Amino acid sequence: QGSFNSTGLVISSKLPRFLDMYTLTIASADPQSISANKTVHFTKSVTKWFTKEGVLVEGLFWKDVERLIDDYNSERKSK
């Protein structure tokens, strides 16, 4: 009664060779499960996370990751 089982997650990233477009995807490990959310992803140029000097601005990257996690979690509510 009122119990909820969540599935595991599959986190994948893709950065094709010689391209700057990075894709991060969050999906359910069991897409057929009643508790599975829809797959979410973003694709963004890695240049958005680096300074002109080539230093990674980690906070900007994590902000995008956290937004993607929020998107994944909100999919449950919109089902």
Instruction: Give pLDDT tens digits along the chain (79 positions).
Output: 444 556 789 999 999 999 999 999 999 998 888 888 899 999 999 999 999 999 999 999 999 999 999 999 887 655 4
CA 73 to CA 56: how far, in whole Å?
Answer: 27
Residue-range definition of the domain harbouring residue 44: 9-77
Contact of 31 with 15, CB cutoff 8 Å: no
Number of separate domains in the chain = 1
Whether 34 maps to a domain, the answer reads yes
Q: Per-residue DSSP letters for 23-46?
A: EEEEEESSTTSTTPPPPEEEEEEG
pTM: 0.81
Across the beta sheet with 21-28, the strand order is 9-14, 21-28, 40-45
In a domain, 53, yes or no: yes
Hey, which residues does 12 pair with through a beta bridge?
25
Q: Is residue 2 in a domain? A: no
Q: Residues for the chain: how many in total?
A: 79
